A and B are shown apart, each in its own frame.
Chain A
Amino acid sequence: MHKNAVRRHNLHSSGAKRVSTLVQSLLVASQMIASFDPKLVEIVRLSLAVSLTSTLLAACIGLPIGAAVAVARFPGRGAVIAILNALMGLPPVVVGLFVYLLLSRAGPLGALGLLFTPEAMVIAQTILITPILAALSRQVIEDAWAEYREQLKSLGSTTFGSALTLLWDTRYSLVTTLLAGFGRAIAEVGAVMIVGGNIDGVTRVMTTAIALETSKGDLPLALGLGIVLIVLVLLLNFGAQATRSWAKARFG
């Protein structure tokens, strides 16, 4: 009985200690954010640069693929859709490993010397989210195609022309698709860790920094970055939702 009481007391005190660590870390973290701590700002900047670039590149590849698969009818189309959907769940570490093998000195693209650079991280994230953008946009555009198909055919539109028209006409829905891709890119840690190497000041992004600082015990920086990451994702989603409802009211 006595032993148990002591253990309970210890548990309580260590619990209280953990809470105070959390509070302290939160305080320091908010100070860092409020004062635009240069280290924190640099990490956030690189994260945004890498993930926005990846999203842009993935959009250039994924949206045309999505539109083409939505509009075209060809043998094996069902299999292509199944593969696209399956690739949405690509494990980031596997993508990282794949890009690592491509870019490592002995790999086919080793001569480019891209391993452990932000460019390598962009490549990995682009591969990761292109299937997401393709699969989600395919669904959006195919729904629109069901409505537009006869009218566009009646007007004499080609399949290619129809795909372009649909991409433009579903632009506000596709914003949500882009955000899903961006959210996945900025939140993933496995791929950028492997191909970027988490080098301080060069390839350190929010997620890899959080992982590292947590294991080092520098909780305030980890927590500060975590808060920034969550706020960013929230803001983006609010923005997307606002864009959509504004567009719905404005353009129908």
Chain B
Amino acid sequence: MADGAHDAGLPRVARVTAPASAERDAGLPIVARGAGYASGTTTILRDIDLTVTRGQRICVIGPNGSGKSTLLRLLHGLLSPTQGSITWGGRVERPPRHAMVFQRPVLLRRAAAANIAYALDLAGIRGSIAELRVLAALQEVGLISVADRPARVLSGGEQQRLALARAWALEPDVLFLDEPTASLDPAATRAVERIVMDIHALGTTIVMSTHNLAQAKRLAGEVVFLHGGRIAERTPAAEFFRGPASAEAREFIEGERL
């Protein structure tokens, strides 16, 4: 249980419905063109050109204050760019089947299972299908045994796993994760990483920010390196960790090694 393994004795439950498929509008690709974001007079992001396509596993890395969180919020549609544009599958409205897990999980004052049911209800999923999905999601993250416990008294690691279960139950086409392990211990971090890989394996596109290079190495298919509010480079992960193309990224990795 230390790393959030499945509850003993329970078989793994497959997704209750089919994963993201072509016949449904998945809000992909996400295309940012010359997107920027300024808050007041402070420019946080500028000249962002980025395309996210189906099935990718992107890690956004960069130093603190480089704009990682803001980039994720723009791509998720929580913020609107103050320059340029962002489209989802060619549309300008935020697609409903994109989910996000935040650095500090925001859970409602109700039972763990009810937190997932709440999200499903908002997505229009109710009744026995919702019940099945709640159980499947709790089992996926190893929280079946605390299904009826109030969500806010769970440990930090359990809360983040519950937030992941909530996202998992929604079967999102894209899952954004904003430094989801920044305040977790190594065991809880491993549990979160395993769940993220499981969610990706079911067809969900992953966009995750982290300032932990080792984590990016373990998870990333591609790396987007942010520096000073700009994308310094975007490289396949293997290539990036062999030797980044940009001077800023080289410096960042050097700093990490010291």
List residues of A whose CB falls within 8 A of some B CB.
Answer: 147-148, 150-151, 153-157, 161, 165, 168-169, 171-172, 250-252
- In whole Å, how far is A247's beta carbon from the nearest beta carbon of chain B? 8
Question: Which are the 8 A-B pairs with shortest beta-carbon distances?
Answer: A252-B152, A151-B106, A251-B150, A252-B153, A154-B100, A169-B109, A251-B109, A155-B122
Report the minimum CB–CB distance from A100 to chain B (whole Å): 43
The answer to whether the Cβ of B19 comes within 8 Å of any Cβ in the partner chain is no
> Is the C-beta of B194 less than 8 angstroms from some C-beta in chain A?
no
Query: Inside 8 A of B76's CB, which chain A residues have their CB?
Result: 154
Which interface class (under 10, 10 to 19, 20 to 34, 35 or more) fits B? 10 to 19
- The answer to whether B102 touches A156 (Cβ under 8 A) is no
CA distance A147 to B108 in the complex (A): 11
B99 within 8 A of A: yes
Which single member of A148, A153, A168, A250 contacts B150 (CB below 8 Å)? A250
A251 CA to B78 CA, complexed, in Å:
28
A-chain residues with CB within 8 Å of residue B102 when the two chains form the complex: 150-151
Q: Cβ of B184 < 8 Å from any Cβ of A?
A: no
When chains A and B are docked, how far (Å) is the Cα of A250 from the Cα of B73? Answer: 33
Nearest chain B residue, comparing its CB with the CB of A151: B106
Q: Check B151 against A252 for contact (C-beta < 8 Å).
A: yes
Q: Name A's interface SS.
A: helix
Q: B164 → chain A, closest Cβ, in Å?
A: 13
With both chains docked as a complex, state the minimum distance between the C-beta of A149 and any C-beta of chain B, in angstroms.
9
CB-CB under 8 A from A157, the residues of chain B are: 122
Residue B14, interface by CB 8 Å: no
List 26 contacting pairs A-B, 8 Å CB cutoff, sorted by A. A148-B108, A150-B73, A150-B102, A151-B100, A151-B102, A151-B106, A153-B78, A154-B76, A154-B99, A155-B118, A155-B119, A155-B122, A155-B123, A156-B122, A161-B122, A165-B108, A165-B118, A169-B109, A171-B109, A250-B150, A251-B152, A251-B153, A252-B109, A252-B150, A252-B151, A252-B152
Instruction: Assess the A148–B106 pair: CB atoms within 8 A.
Output: yes
A245 to chain B, nearest CB (A): 14
Q: A209: shortest Cβ distance to chain B, in Å?
A: 42
With contacts A154-B76, A156-B123, A252-B152 known, what are 17 further pairs, Cβ within 8 A?
A: A147-B106, A148-B108, A150-B78, A150-B100, A151-B102, A153-B78, A155-B118, A157-B122, A168-B109, A169-B109, A169-B110, A250-B150, A250-B153, A251-B109, A251-B110, A251-B153, A252-B109
